[in-house]
Amino acid sequence: MGRLSLGHGSGGRLTNDLVKKIASAFARESGMLEFEDCALLPGGWGVTIDGFTVSPLSFPGGDIGKLAVCGSANDLAVRGVRPLWLAMSLLAEEGLDEEELFTYMRSAASVCAELGVQLVAGDTKVLPKGQADRLYIATCAMGKNEAISPWGIKEISPGDTVIVSGPVGRHGAVIASLRYDIKLRELESDCAPLWPLIEPLTRLLGVHAARDCTRGGLGTVLCEWAEVANVGIEIDEEAIPADGDVSAVSDILGFDPLYLACEGTAVFAVASEWTETVLETMRSHPLGRSAAAIGKVTEAHPGLVGLRTSAGGMRVVDMQGGELLPRIC
């Protein structure tokens, strides 16, 4: 056993290994861990919990309050669960300006109102100066499963089409541009609640799995799917919706957009015969206008993800081994 590093919180290989070790301690007491972002409970309920530690606390397109509600609500949505209730815990550093805190809370409340989510429980702690970085938020969300067929990694099968709902990496690129003082006038985080985009999809039989591409980005989600479902996944670099500013930040800093975080973009595994229906449904919503089929699930090379490059070659997509960008969500 070693010591934790920032890499253990990046969403890549180290995070994956740490979560499995923690879960193993509960293996005898809980037979329900599925390594999904949202657990489906008896009675048709879904529950999730998440912590938010973004730095800086405000960014183009959002702030930590909006991020905290969107993050948990989206974890429910990608399993076909309508977000209904929210519990929120605040860990604030001594000296944080009250008006700034209320700005974040109004932002969080605005997303709750948009989704019809009720805040039903909460907790507030103030830590001595120096023992926190201004503000951390933890949220636990619960809702009702509305998918007419189960959504989850276990449902993914060879032949499925891989669809992404929009350009990848915008949230991570925004945070990186602020951290490294790169001036971009147009780029905003994609931070947004996904339920309005996803709700119509819950009435379609062809959706097998979905995941919002947060820490670790699209690349890490696909690696987790390939390993857990024991399938191969092949994606086409030129088919992935791209944002020019994301590409610019990635080129300057040496990042791969595949691993940059999204906070309002999701990836789906869909039965091939439902591909056009799902794409048409997504593109009818503003969050899904750039939705695209980017690849397929295969029987070949189980456990691995391959990226067909614009140059015509194929390279392996693997989980990031260390830290990519700290304090991102």
**pLDDT for residue 183:** 83
pLDDT 10s digits, 119-146 = 999 999 999 999 999 999 999 999 999 9
pLDDT 10s digits, 276-323 = 999 999 999 999 999 999 999 999 999 999 999 988 899 999 987 666
**Rounded-to-10 torsion of CA 109, 114, 116, 122:** -20
Angstrom distance (rounded) from CA 213 to CA 219: 8
pLDDT 10s digits, 192-204 = 999 999 999 999 9
Cβ atoms 49, 139 nearer than 8 A: yes
Residue 100 clears pLDDT 60, i.e. is over it: yes
Report pTM. 0.93
For the chain, how big is the Rg over CA atoms in Å?
19
Contacts of 1-6 with CB under 8 Å at 24 or more apart are: 5/322, 5/323, 6/323, 6/326
φ/ψ of residue 213, rounded to 5 = -95, 70
Whose tokens are 């009675």? That residue is 43
pLDDT 10s digits, 219-248 = 999 999 999 999 999 999 999 999 999 999
